[in-house]
Amino acid sequence: MKKSLKILVVLFLIGTPILAQDELPFKTYDSEIKQLPTLLSRSLQTNLEKELKSNPEWKRLIAQKKMAVGVVDLSDPNNTRFARINGNHMMYAASLPKIAILLAAMDAIEKGELKETKEVKADMRLMISKSNNQASTRMIDRVGYKKIEDVMTDPEYAFYDEHKGGGLWVGKRYGSGGDTNREPLKNLSHAATVTQVCRYYYLLANGKLVNEKRSKQMLDIMENPDLHHKFVNTLDQIAPEARLFRKSGSWRTFHSDSILVWGDDPDRRYILVALIDDANGEQIIRDLVRPVEKVLKKSISLASN
C-alpha cells in the first residue's frame, strides 16, 4: 500500500466513530434506527405463530385476543427482526406501563422540568424494580398526567397512537383516590400493546429514549429486577448469567411482562413482551420463554445459512 493511501486510511478511521454493538445501549446513528414494524420477519413470524398455536390453550387465548406476544431478535443489532401476535391489540397491563412514567420523568429531568433529587432517583428504582405502588404514585404526582400523555403521544416516540390501536398509557395513580386521565379508545387506566412495548425496548437498547445518557440511566434502573416471577423465574433457571432489564404487572386475571435479555451468547439477546388475560397468566408467561427461545434459535440458524 502506498504511503499516501495508508495516511488516508488512518485519517478515515480516526474520523469515523466505531459503533460498538456488544454493549448497551448500542452506539447507533439516528439514520440507522428503523420503524420496528418495517423489521417484521416473515420466517420469525411464521415460526412464532406455529410454535405458540401448537399449544391448544394458547391458541384459544390468541383467537379470543386474550393473549398477545411480541419478540425482537437482537442477536445481530444490524439486522434486527420483529414478530408479534395480536401486536396492536391494547389490553389492561397493570404495572407494566410504569415504564411510561419512567420515560416521562427522564424527559422532564432532561428538560429541567423535574429536579433529579435522591428521592426521585430512589422512587424511580422502587417503581421499576420492586413495582412499588407508592413510589409510582409519587412519580405520577411529580410529573403529572399531561406530561405522561404528551411524551407517549409525541411524534418522536408515538408510543400511544389512536390510529394504531392505542399503546402505552398511564392515566391513574397506583392506589385509590385522585383524578384520572384514561385513554380515549377503551377507557383504560393502565394500558399497553406488545408492539409499542417492543418499540420502547428497541429504542431504549439503541440509546434513543431521550438521549444515550438517559437511556443508559433507564437501563441501569431496569436491570436486576427484585421480583423473580414470570419471565425472570424461567430465565433464572436457563440463563442465570444473562443480564435482564424488565418490567411486569398483574391485576386480577391480567398478567403482563416485558424484558430485554442480554446473554453472553449473542443468540440469547432479545426483547420479549406478553400480555395475558387469563387466571393462569402467571404460569403462561413463565412457560413462554422456552418455546420463544426455540423459535429464535431456529430463526437465527436459518438466517446464518
What confidence category does residue 21 fall into, taking pLDDT thresholds of 50, 70 and 90? low
CATH of region 41-304:
3.40.710.10
pLDDT of residue 7: 39
pLDDT of residue 301: 82
Average pLDDT, the chain: 93
Q: pLDDT tens across 149-193, in order?
A: 999 999 999 999 999 999 999 999 998 889 999 999 999 999 999
Q: What predicted TM-score, i.e. pTM, was given to this entire model?
A: 0.93
Give the phi and the psi of residue 30 in degrees, each rounded to 5: -55, -35
pLDDT of residue 305: 67
> Out of 13-17, 97-101, 112-116, 165-169, which region has the weakest mean confidence (pLDDT)?
13-17
Beta-bridged to residue 251, according to DSSP, are 254
pLDDT of 64 above 60: yes
Cell of 232: 425472570
Match 438517559 to its residue by C-alpha cell.
Answer: 214
Instruction: Report the C-alpha gap between 217 and 194 in whole angstroms.
Output: 23
- Decide which of 139 and 16 is more confident: 139
| Domain coordinates in residue numbering, the chain | 41-304
**Amino acid (1-letter code) at residue 58:** W
pLDDT of 9 above 60: no
pLDDT of 63 above 90: yes
- Decide which of 24 and 175 is more confident: 24
Average pLDDT over residues 57-65: 98
Cell of 294: 426455540
